[in-house]
Amino acid sequence: MRWRWLWALAGLVGGWAFLGWHPPRVTVAAGRPLVVLDPGHGGIDPGAVGAGGVLEKTVNWEVTVAAARVLGRRGVAVVLTRQGDTTAAPGPYLVVRDLRYRAFLARHRGATLLVSIHSNAEPSGRAVGPIVYYYAPSLASRALADALTAPLTAVTGIYHAPRPARHLVLVEAGVPAVTVELGFLTAAADRARLTSPTWQARLGAAVAQGILRYLAERGG
C-alpha cells in the first residue's frame, strides 16, 4: 500500500512539473479549428505488442501522420502530441505525467478537439474492429465519437458503438476528446490491416474524415 501511495504521488508531481514549460503556439486564423492528434505511447513505452513483435506505438504513429496529412490538405491546423518515436512530455518519463501532458497540450494550445489514437489488445484474440471511446459527461465528445465511428465502420466493415470511458487524457483535455482504438493487435485480421501501409493510410483518412464531419456539423 505504501508503494501505491508513492507511485500516485510521483504521478501527481510529474504531472505538475511541465506546467511552467510552454510549448510554442501554432498560429491559427481567428475562428478556425485547431486539431490535436495524440499518437498513443512512444519512446520507451511501446504500448501493446502483437504477434511477431508488432508495436502499438509504431502503428499509432503511422495512422496519426496519415490523418494529419489529410487534414492539412483540407486546411485544418494540426498539432501532434509527440514527434516521432518519443514520449510526449519533456523530461523524465512517468506514465501519468506523460498522459497529463497530452491533455495539457490540448488546453494550452486552445485546441478545438483532441483525438488520441491507439491500437487495442485482448487475451482471447477473437475481438476485432475499431472502437471509439468518449468522455461521457461531454455531449460534444459523444458527437465526435459518432462522427469518427461512421467512416471507420465504412472502411473496416466492422461496427462497434462508441463507448463511454474515463481515460485520463479525455478527462483532463478540457475540449471535446475521444480515444480511437483502431483495431486489435491480438487478432490476425486486424493485425494485418494495422501493419499494412495501405491500410494505415486508409485508417488515417477515415479518422480525418470523421474529424472533418464533426467540424462541419459544428460550423468549424
Side by side, the strands of the sheet bearing 163-165 are 77-80, 34-39, 113-120, 177-184, 131-135, 163-165
Q: Which of 8-17, 26-35, 115-124, 206-215 has the lowest mean pLDDT?
A: 8-17
Cell of 153: 465502420
Given the C-alpha cell 511552467, which residue does it identify?
A: 20
What letter would DSSP give residue 167?
Answer: -
Does the pLDDT value for residue 17 go beyond 50? no
* Number of CB atoms found within 10 A of residue 152's CB: 25
Q: What is the DSSP letter of 165?
A: E
The DSSP bridge pattern shows strands 163-165 and 54-55 to be unpaired
Count the residues in the chain. Answer: 220
Tell me the pTM.
0.88
Which uninterrupted H or E stretch holds 131? strand 131-135
pLDDT single digits (tens) 93-104: 999 999 999 999
What does DSSP assign to residue 52? G
pLDDT in tens, 1-14: 333 433 333 444 44
CA 19 to chain centre: 21
Give the pLDDT band of residue 21 (cuts 50, 70, 90): very low
Averaged over 187-215, what is the pLDDT?
Answer: 98
Domain 35-217, CATH number (from 3.40.630.40, 3.40.47.10, 2.60.120.10, 3.30.1330.10): 3.40.630.40
